[in-house]
Every structure is written in C-alpha cells, then in structure tokens.
Amino acid sequence: MSEFLDQLCKRVPGLILKTEGADVAHACTDWRKRYQTSALAVLEPMNTSQVQAIVKVCDEFNIAISTQGGNTGLVGGAVPAAAGEAAARQHVVLKTGRLREVLKLDESNLTLTASVGYTLFEIQEYAQAHGFLFPLSLASEGTCTLGGNLASNAGGVAVLRYGNTRELCLGLEFVDAQGQLCGDLRGLRKNNTGYDLRHLLIGSEGTLGVVTTACMKVVPAPKSRCVAWLNVDSIQAAVDALTFVQGHLYGELSSYEWMNAQAIDVVQTHFPARAPAWPNGGDHVLAEFTSLGGEAELRDSVTATLELLLENQTSVRNITIAQNGREMDTFWALRENISEAQAKEGLNVKHDVACAVSQLPLFHDVALNAIAEHGVDVNPILFGHLGDGNLHFNLSAPKGTDSASFLKQHQDLLNSLVHEAILQCGGTVSAEHGIGQLKAELLRDITSAGNYRMFQAIKLAMDPKNLFNPGKLVLM
C-alpha cells in the first residue's frame, strides 16, 4: 500500500494525510463507539479538486472510501465496515471538514450555497447574521456538517414546518466514482430537464458519491417566538391536541415534541431543569410557534388557541406558556437532554421509527403490549418529533438491573418486536438516523425484492467497483 500512499502524496499536492495510529483510530470509531475499525489513512482534502484527485487514485488502486463529516451518526455509516466482505477491503477515511470554499447567500432567491465542511451551527449563524433562518436544527448541530446532513437526509425538530434536509436542498455538486464533478448548484425551484440527481445523493449515506457543495433554502428570520408546555394524559391526547392546534395555527407551529413521563423523570434525575408541575402525572408536549409578526400578537394567538384547547379536550390537563427566554430554554433543555440523561442511566435499546401521525398511538400500544406479553420488563424512555410522526422509542433496563446484561439478554427480541410493530402500522424502522452498517441487513430483509434489486442496480451503475462506503445501506 506504500505505492498507493505515495501516489496520493504525488498527485494530490497539499493533501493532509494522516497515518498515525491515534488519528486513524479516532476517525474509525463511530459516535456511539459501537464500531472500532481500521483504515490505511485519514485524508483531509482542502477543496473539490483534491477530492476528485483522491477518488481517481482510489479508483486505480481499488481502495474503498468512507466519507466522514462530523462523525455524529448513530448507525455506523461514517466509519469503515466492521464485518462482512466490505471489512476485508482496504479503506481510507475521507474527512470533509476542511471543504470550506464557498459560503454565500442569494437574498432574492432565498438560497444559501455552502461547501459541505461547514458545521450546521456555522451555517445557521451565517444565515442569521444576514437576517435569515436556515431551519434545519439538530442536537449535534455544533459538530455535524452540511455534508453529513445531506448524506443522511437529517431531520430534527423543525421538520413539521420546514421539512427535512431533502426539502431544504435545491441543488448539489458531487464527485462520482470516476472522479468527475457532477450535479447542479443553480438553485432553481422549477427545472424539468432530466433526472434530478440530488435526490439520489441525499440520503445515500456516502454510497454513491462525495457531495462537495450544496444550494439550500433559507427563509426570512422569524420576528417572534412562543413556547408552550402541555401536560397530557397519553400519546393519543398529544395527537388529538396537535390536530386541534394545527387547525388554528398551522402556519405558526414550527415544532411539536412529545415525551412520555419516564423520559422527563430521567432528565429531572440528572439535570436541574424542571417541567411545569402537574400532580396527576401523564405525558408531556413541547410546542414552539414562530411568526414574522409581533411578539404580543403571536402570544395572544397562541394563548387563545390553547385556552380553547383546554376547554374542548379534557385529556389535556394543563398548559404553561414560557414567560421569557430563560423559560423557553428550560423547556427545550428538558427535551434536548433526554438522550444524555438516558446514557447516564446505562445502555439502552434505541429505535428511530416513524409512521403516519394518526398511527402513532396504535404503534405505541402494539409495541409495548408485545413487549409485556413476552415477559420483558423495560423502562420505556419514549420521545420524539410527534408532529412529523418520528419517535425515538428507547428501552432501558428496569431500575436496579445491570444494563449490559439486559441488552445481552433482550436486545434482539426487543428489536424484533418494535420493528414488527412499526411495520404493521405502515411505518419505517429508520426515520432520521439512516441505515449505515447497523441496519443494512435489516433493510435488505424488510424491503421488497423488486425495490432492493433497484437499489443495487443504482449502486452498481453509479459505483461499479463499490468504492464508496461498502457494507453500508445497500449490500452488494
């Protein structure tokens, strides 16, 4: 492999190439530390031309490429494969964090064009400084990059109003498996001239090409914001309340997050934030509203709607509207610290599922009933983006039980029961986290034979040597 590395250095002048053990180990360990693999080198190109040259050299030497942004993914999609034929391939990790050639706004076209190495937070800040909102928002936004967002079709807390990454992208450029630059950055909202390649690349998890630049939508920054906390009897009550609120404030509702009682309990165990007190227990909803109008006007509209909701739906027990920015931050801290609080409790069985909003209560009951019928005692920490149908259905060990032993004994069964329940309800086993290597075999098993053959045909046509991220998403 020394010849391969020599050619990289010769044909990609200025390339940052790291082969030290610590650098390689860090780049080959995923966010959850579930996968710890290896690679020949870590490559950090500075521009698109260097990416093209890297791909051409890798193509000649048949070296696989695992593209990595912030390495915040949860399904092992950004590190080399750990098992199967793909694990036997020689790999390099291509980190895109130094691709920062372009960052510009077209205010009249409401678009922002950026290189994929910028973090989501940097893009948000740039848009805000110019009076616009880039509405994609994730817990990892300080670390995750635009490239990773596109590769995984990231979702987050504002999908209800603004859509996920796919809906926000108007065009992108990418390097194909032969090192050619492809795609379109014109930012056109109407363009019926052939296949739209961006939709193949978005959500492809680095298996079809290396995205280098993208043209994204922005919107005028909201002038006012209102955050409310609802105490509800159940997930069904939360769905009913959503329907009511959307009927009155559809254009203003930007986030609608549901959390079961156990999720808030575990946050309050490990963090100082406290939810509005309600002695009768039950579940919780966080709703955020934004507007281009004035603060008082928005607050009056939200207050009137929620008061009417209380009058009409007895399963909504209490409503608290944040009085200031500090209370808004407290409400969001309760929601955003769930995953970290649960990690402090020990290992857990995670699921990222989605179905039609109307089917969420059925899925919730079917899954929990199936788990109980199989005699497995769990502590369900359930929360998520109820407004767009996405739940994080996480199952922890009961209090006093060793979490590692719990996973070893029950993880396979719990995965099977939850996946069966969500598919029975017309849903998906991966809403926003992706497939990666964690769910690659599962995707093959649950996808129709015709669809999966089409997936493989697309992969083969665009990447005939299986250079890009082998062992992820689509198995060849």
| pLDDT band, residue 64 (cuts 50/70/90) | very high
Q: What are phi and psi of 125, to 5 degrees?
A: -65, -40
Q: Are residues 207 and 229 in the same domain?
A: no
How deeply is 405 buried, as exposed, middle or buried, from its count of CB atoms within 10 A (0-12, 13-18, 19+)? exposed
Residue 136 lies in a domain: yes
Query: Is residue 441 one of the residues assigned to a domain?
Result: no
Residues 205, 138 share a domain: yes
Instruction: Convert the pLDDT of each residue in 232-279 to its tens digit.
Output: 999 999 999 999 999 999 999 999 999 999 999 999 999 999 999 888
Residue whose entry in the numeric block shows the structure tokens 């079961």: 260
Considering the domain architecture, whether residues 213 and 113 belong to the same structural domain is answered as yes
Q: What is the pLDDT of residue 277?
A: 83
Kindly state whether residue 462 falls inside one of the protein's structural domains: no
Predicted local confidence at residue 269, as pLDDT: 95
φ/ψ of residue 353, rounded to 5: -120, 165
Torsion angle (degrees, nearest 10) of CA 251, 252, 255, 258: -90
Assess whether 109 and 194 both reside in one domain. Answer: yes
Average pLDDT over residues 303-312: 96
Instruction: Find, among 374, 378, 332, the residue nearest to 351 by Cα.
Output: 378
The reported pLDDT for the residue numbered 280 is 81
Question: For residue 53, what pLDDT is reported?
Answer: 98
Transcribe 288-352 into DSSP letters.
Answer: EEEESS-HHHHHHHHHHHHHHHHHH-TTEEEEEE--SHHHHHHHHHHHHTHHHHHHHH--EE--E
pTM of the model as a whole: 0.94
The gap from C-alpha 457 to its chain's centroid, in whole angstroms, comes to 26
pLDDT tens readout for residues 164-202: 999 999 999 999 999 999 999 999 999 999 999 999 999
Cα-based distances in Å from 280 to 85, 231, 233, 241, 276: 55, 9, 9, 18, 12
- Hey, what amino acid is at 19? T
Residue 112, pLDDT above cutoff 90: yes
Residues 334, 369 share a domain: no
Amino acid residing at 171: G
Residue 353 banded pLDDT, cuts 50, 70, 90: very high
Q: Are residues 210 and 107 in the same domain?
A: yes
Of 53, 72, 95, the last residue of a domain is: 95
Both 303 and 323 in one domain: the answer is yes
Q: Is 224's pLDDT higher than 90?
A: yes
User: Does residue 215 share a domain with residue 134?
Assistant: yes
Instruction: Give the domain CATH number at 189.
Output: 3.30.465.10
Structural domain that includes position 293: 224-338
Residue 311 lies inside a defined structural domain of this protein: yes
What confidence tens digit (pLDDT) does each residue in 419-465 have? Answer: 999 999 999 999 999 999 999 999 999 999 999 999 999 999 999 99
pLDDT of 121 = 98
Nearest-angstrom CA–CA distance, 40 and 388 = 41
Inside any domain, residue 469: no
Of 255, 241, 257, 147, nearest to 203 (Cα)? 147
Digit-coded pLDDT (tens) for 160-170: 999 999 999 99
**Percent of the chain scoring above 90 in pLDDT:** 97
Same domain, 264 and 307: yes
User: Residue 382 — φ and ψ, nearest 5°?
Assistant: -115, 130
* Boundary-marking domain end, from 220, 253, 284: 220
In this structure, is residue 440 part of a structural domain? no
Q: What are 358-367's pLDDT values in tens digits?
A: 999 999 999 9
Rounded CA-CA distance 112/218 in Å is 7
Q: Which of 338, 357, 376 is the last residue of a domain?
A: 338
460 belongs to a structural domain: no
**CB–CB of 151/164 below 8 Å?**
no
Burial 254-280 (b: 16+ CB within 10 A, else e): bbbbbbbbbbbebbeeebebebbebee
134: pLDDT strictly greater than 90: yes
Residue 446 located in a structural domain: no
Q: CATH code at 234? A: 3.30.70.2190
Cα 106 to Cα 9, 186, 306, 354, 440: the distances in Å are 37, 11, 38, 34, 39
Do residues 407 and 344 touch, judged by C-beta distance below 8 A?
Answer: no
Q: How many angstroms separate the CA atoms of 259 and 334, rounded? A: 9
Mean pLDDT for all residues in the chain: 96
pLDDT of residue 279: 81
228 and 278 inside one domain: yes
What average pLDDT does range 283-295 have in this prediction? 97
Can you give the pLDDT at residue 278?
85
pLDDT reported for residue 122: 98
Rounded CA separation 18/41 (Å) = 6
Q: Where residue 420 sits, what CATH number does that domain have?
A: 3.30.70.2740
Reported as half-sphere exposure (CB side, CA atoms, 13 A), residue 160 has a value of: 28
- 458 CB burial (10 A radius; 0-12, 13-18, 19+): middle
Collapsing DSSP to helix, strand or coil, 119 comes out as strand
219-to-35, 130, 134, 135 alpha-carbon distances in Å = 38, 11, 7, 8
Region 41-69: what's the mean pLDDT? 98
As separate numbers, helices (DSSP H) first and strands (DSSP E) second, the chain gives 18, 19
Residues 307 and 399 in one domain: no
Q: Are residues 323 and 230 in the same domain?
A: yes
**What are the tens digits of pLDDT across the range 371-410?**
999 999 999 999 999 999 999 999 999 988 999 999 999 9
> What pLDDT sits at residue 296?
96
Domain count, the chain: 4
Taking the C-alpha atoms of residue 174 and residue 207, their distance in angstroms, rounded to an integer, is 12
